[in-house]
Amino acid sequence: MTVLAIIETNITDPSWIEAYTKEVTPMVLDLGGRYLTRTDNIELLEGDEKPQFSVVVEFPSKEVALGFYHSKEYEPYKKARHAGSTSKFLLVPIENGAE
């Protein structure tokens, strides 16, 4: 089942972003992931806090998404993201007959 990885980020130190984007993008694409959006153009309709940046990636399966997230290759970039931002990283299955 296809899943969406939704990452909401508030950046505290932008020094990690260039290397993260350059190195993580090919990792995602090599696994069959597809970026649906990477943007700071976010309109908050409900809730208390709008994230500064949002990324939505479609992965072919939950297993592939989790494999990426827990991979040794992604680990240093995940640590850099954690050190330079506060983030939510959500996996959301595409359900209700959408596939």
Question: What would the pLDDT profile of 39-72 be if each residue is shown by its tens digit?
Answer: 999 999 999 999 999 999 999 999 999 999 999 9
- Residue 26: beta bridge partners? none
pLDDT class for 95, splitting at 50, 70, 90? confident
Q: How far apart are CA 93 and CA 80, in angstroms?
A: 27
86, 12 Cβ separation under 8 angstroms = yes
Domains belonging to the chain, first-starting first, are 3-92 (3.30.70.100)
